[in-house]
Structure 1
Amino acid sequence: MDTDVLVVGAGPVGLTLAMDLAARGVQVAIAEIRRYAEPPNVKCNHVAARTMERFRRLGVAHKLRDAGLPADYPNDVVFRTSLCGIELTRIPIPCRAERYTAREGPDTWWPTPEPPHRINQLFLEPILLEHTAKLPGVTLWNRTQVTGFTQHEHVVEATLLDLDTRQERRVRCRYLVGCDGGSSMVRKAIGAKLEGTPVIQRVQSTHIRAPGLRALLPGKPAWSYYAVNPRRCGTVFAIDGHETWLVHNHLNPDEPEFDSVDRDWAIRQILGVGADFAYEVITKEDWVGRRLVADRFRDRNVFIAGDAAHLWVPYAGYGMNAGIADALNLSWLLAARVQGWGAEAILTAYEAERQPITMQVSNFAMDHAAKMIRARRAVPANVEAQDADGERAREELGREAYALNVQQFCCAGLNFGYYYEGSPIIASDGEAPPPYTMGDFTPSTVPGCRAPHFWLADGRSLYDAFGQGYTLLRLDEGVDVAPLLAAARERRMPLSVVDVAGAQVPAAYRHKLLICRDDQHVAWRGDAIPADPLALLDRLRGA
């Protein structure tokens, strides 16, 4: 083999997969068509808490926290008649300097060691790239395109094309993972098909430089602005907190083509500036919001993740973050096979777990998109009127906008509520996981749920104490776990023990023992070691 795993694509999903595999001692090669450090697209603006939790364990979270908007720049979400217009409502979100200490606002209560981080992909991806490229066991091939592959027993042989020299070469690997975006060659090659709703929303996106814009904005600045007026509705993100902005012009259903609306006119209506206001277009892109999920995520030793496996309207920032969740789910399963303790069937858990969750999250996003589209079509004609009726219209619109969108931007449910049900490597005990919404969830230790976070007596995060593979949480030190540890040694299965005596353990922990997976999901729970510990461990390792 030339490498254990070949990753196709060095975007955030592919880089995270490579980082996580390398941390487990797996040899990884990444093929990327762009040049090294070539600027990425100005897309994702939000790194979710679950993603930051893993970046913490991978040693890159602090680098990300120090990048993006200025430390004191508010991360609020504001609804106005235009950027320079009248404020309707505001969702308060702490700036990064206060992210760990803030106690006011709808997302400061989250039970996690790493709350979300607002940072554009322009800043995020270079940090991930630099970190990954320095890791032992990682090989990065830039300006390299994977043009095809052939699967044999226990090996994938890929054909790589050097885009500068036009020379081809062959690479042999145990596994190949396509993180190669919405037009994925890998997805097409394994015969997977995207299914769902092909068109939900058309959007004109424009990355602009406007040094004079911030001085025109009334009141406290914000990370995200929603402009709502009868002429145009759009969204604007502050990119650097000084002069660069990303403007999304949401086309209406009766505007079926991207050239249906003059781009410059729409930008000025969203910003609330006149024809004399100067700005520079850095990049622009027209794109279609969809809800599409691949009908399969795997063909033998080839897998797909991220946009290669699913595409949807990017509400709640869950395009990239869902892709990273794919990568983190797949990484430890591949490592289990490479290290030899995971049985072949452990790999079936990837599609069995991630595809249903992808369907759930995509439906959350599509449902929210439909509500937003309806809201944009119902903007009162007098929303900008300087009279009592106009003020009443703005107050009502502000209340509706807050109620609809606070769950999108403070989406604890999507972060912490999702669970893996019916997985072949989770030992269910018959209790149903609690339901969740985009914004809310109930902490639970039902197998398949995320192990609720708490701080250990020594001040560490529970997740900082997790080992690779599996971790046995013992809430009662009087329970003898020696037979289970002996069974793990017999199966060469990594299983560490964490005693939580002295910690303020959440009420959701109702059992004396829990086995948690490397990705923080509960795999088993009980009050005593089962009579046949080998049978339990064989279930968990896919045997």
Structure 2
Amino acid sequence: MVDSTVRTRVLIVGAGPVGMAAAIELGHRGIPCLLIERNDRVGYAPRAKTTNVRTREHFRRWGIADALKAASPLGVDYPSNVVFCTRLSGQELTRFENALYCAPGRNPFYSEHSQWIPQYTVEEVMRSHIQSLPNVEMRFNTQLQKISQDEQGVQAEAVDLPSGKAYVIHADYLIGADGARSLVREAIGAKLEGTYGLARHYNIVFRAPGLAQAHKLGPAIMYWQVNGDAPSLIGPMDRGDKWFFMPTSVKEDYKLDLADAPALIRQATGIDLPYEILSSDEWVASRFLSNSYRDRRVFLAGDACHLHPPFGGYGMNMGVADGVDLGWKLAAVLKGWGGRQLLDSYEQERRPVHALVLDEAVANHSVLSHQLWTDGLDANDATGAALRKDVGARIQTSKMREFNTLGVMLGYHYEHSPVIVPDGSPEPGHDFVNYIPSSRPGHLAPHAWMHDGSSLYDHFGQYFTLLASKNAPSEAIDEAQRQAKALGVSLKVIQPQEAGIAELYPMLLTLIRPDQHIAWRGNAWPSATQGLMQQVSGCR
């Protein structure tokens, strides 16, 4: 029996980072939305620990990057080193310094550095911000039951778990951000396709006072322990001497007994301390893409439509980008200036990026601690030293693509999107390490620092931005503004005077989307009959 009905513009199922990213994008644009979540989101599992530069740039747009910095349990100055060793008490093999670009300080390529921070803390910052948005409501302990849709909208039945009361939610659109076991995906008949069971893993969270001081490898965010006894990853996670531990060679029929976990950690680290086990969860590394991201008014985002091993720190960050992409596009349609093709472009833009990142994650997962071990690696003699030198060199070659990945974080582009206007310039090759900024349509707008200390991104508008060179003819700018106004599209014009920006944006005019990707560029604004604004807003 239905007890009540609720009306909203967008229903979001799943209040993790993906669903909250979509809600923030919508909320900032004045679109009412409702998030429902079957859990209370109080968690201790490590999940994601890297909020990368691109995600933090979205946090900057939302005005909460500093709040995320302040929430960092280890402090933003904590070194983001990744150390490979035989064990915490053993020999160092090699290290990657400033892995994943977490070091504070200005970098010409991005406006915000990455941050090593537990996902549940990221969620707390996002949740706090959502509570300040009057158009966004969150309901926890709420279970989706079923959905239906027609030409007018979506109807979802949900149950408040504590009370057992059922109600119907009417929405214009629905976003399924409800994870790997997505009920929304099942409801629209989409299927995950790919490879299940690349490997089994355990995530163990434990407390160990004094562990950071009990070894001589120095501070790091991860220690890869390469040994023949208990090959694994281990690292600090939170205040209160809280660490994570992940064995990397788990046999198919092995079942971890929590009572045995302290002994396993002692064996892996070689350090005898009291280890208090806080939680443990088993997971299976797989590579999956959904065969469809959408059924009419219902969309999938995050783990609901793509799954991959968590090596490289891509999962949560890629899901946040999904939420951003869907959020601004749905807002455009609901405000009346976005067209059908704008919504069609979501899967067309995001799916190739997902496929690229899945390949990267699987490649990273193919080289784990147990695969680097060789007998004699930990021997205290000349043979052991030579082996460690050789293995260290192999690690630098094979794992660079996991920890030095700016080309993946910032180099993806929406090459064949229907709402991007190509300019005929050649498509660049993919480089996972080296990021080469480009103002070519589809690419992320190149970043620059302004002479007043601000980021160029700080000057972009909430919707479209026309970056005009100081030599751009005023009549072209006037025509762009006239066409945007005629369509009801908000267009902000900026004309930076810094010479370095002119080198990054060689055309006289560059049109930038709300997600900071280039929609079009040229030296003359096309006439209204050519329909530039109609195309980038999805109206033709």
TM range (shorter): over 0.9
What one-letter code is carried by the residue in structure 1 that aligns with 2:380? Q
Amino acid at match of 1:2: R
What's 1:80 paired with?
85
- The answer to whether the 8 A contact 1:315-1:369 is kept is yes
Matches within 5 A, 1:94-493: 99-100=104-105, 109=107, 111-240=109-238, 243-251=241-249, 255-259=251-255, 263-274=261-272, 277-370=273-366, 372-373=367-368, 376-479=370-473, 480=475, 481-493=477-489
- Is the 2:175–2:298 contact (alpha carbons within 8 Å) kept by the matching residues of 1? yes
Cα distance in 1 between the residues matched to 2:498 and 2:381:
60
Which shows bigger deviation, 463-472 or 452-461? 452-461
Query: Which residue type is aligned with residue 367 of structure 1?
Result: A
| Shift, 1:212, TM fit | 2.9
Aligned-residue offset at 1:132: 1.1
Please state how far the C-alpha of 1:308 moved relative to its aligned partner. 0.6
With the length of structure 1 as denominator, give the TM-score of the two structures.
0.93
| 3-state SS in 1 of match to 2:225 | strand
Q: Percent identity?
A: 35
Q: What is the distance in 1 between the residues matched to 2:319 and 2:330?
A: 16
1:39 is aligned to 2:37:
no
* Contact kept in structure 1, 2:510 and 2:521, CA below 8 Å: yes
Q: Residue 92 of structure 1 is aligned with which of 97, 102, 111?
A: 97
In 2 relative to 1, CA 112–533 (structure 1 residues): closer, same or farther, beyond 3 Å? farther
Structure 1 residue runs of 5 or longer lacking an equivalent are: 102-108
Q: Residues 39 and 513 from structure 1, CA distance in 2 versus in 1: closer, same or farther, beyond 3 angstroms? A: same
Aligned partner of 2:296: which letter? Answer: R
Structure 2: which amino acid aligns with 1:389?
Answer: T
Q: How far 1:425 sits from its partner (Å)?
A: 0.4
In the TM superposition, residue 321 of structure 1 has moved relative to its aligned partner by 0.5
Aligned-pair CA distance for 1:170: 0.5
The one of 53, 59, 62 aligned to 1:55: 59
The answer as to whether partners of 2:109 and 2:437 remain within 8 angstroms in 1 is no
Distance 2:78 2:28 in 1: 33
Matched AA of 1:45: K
Residue 450 of structure 1 deviates from its aligned partner by 0.6
Give 1:66's aligned residue.
70
Q: Write the deviation string for residues 80-132 of structure 1: whole angstroms up to 9, x where unpaired.
A: 1112221111211289996126xxxxxxx561110111111132211211221
Structure 2 CA distance for partners of 1:506 and 1:223, relative to 1, 3 Å:
farther
| CA drift at 1:263 | 4.5
Normalising by structure 2, report the TM-score: 0.94
Task: For 1:506-521, list aligned pairs within 5 A.
Answer: 507-521=503-517
Q: Partner residue of 2:3?
A: none
For structure 2, the 5+ residue unaligned runs are 1-5
Aligned partners of 1:217, 1:540: CA distance in 2, in Å? 56
Deviations 1:381-407 (A, max 9, x none): 111100001011111212222333233
* 1:9–1:30 Cα contact (<8 Å) kept: yes
Distance 2:99 2:502 in 1: 25
Choose the corresponding residue for 1:9, options 11, 14, 31: 14
Shift in Å, 1:353: 0.4
**Residue 493 of structure 2, aligned match among 476, 491, 497:** 497
Distance 1:6 1:26 in 2: 11
Contact 2:226–2:232 (CA under 8 A) maintained in structure 1: yes
Q: Give the CA deviation at 1:520.
A: 1.0
Matched residue type, 1:489 = K
1:42 CA drift (Å): 2.1
Amino acid paired to 1:235: L
Aligned-residue RMSD, C-alpha: 2.0
Aligned equivalents of 1:529, 1:61: Cα separation in 2: 35
1:502-525 Cα shifts (integer Å, max 9, x gaps): 342263422111101111111100
State the match for 2:32 in structure 1. Answer: 27
Q: Tell me the distance in 2 between the aligned counterparts of 1:355 and 1:66.
A: 34
* Equivalent residue pairs, number: 529
Contact 1:467-1:518 at 8 Å conserved across structures: yes
Q: Distance in 1 between matches of 2:254 and 2:184?
A: 29
Deviations 1:209-255 (A, max 9, x none): 11131221214211111101122321112112551111011125xx2
C-alpha distance in 2 between matches for 1:273 and 1:502: 55
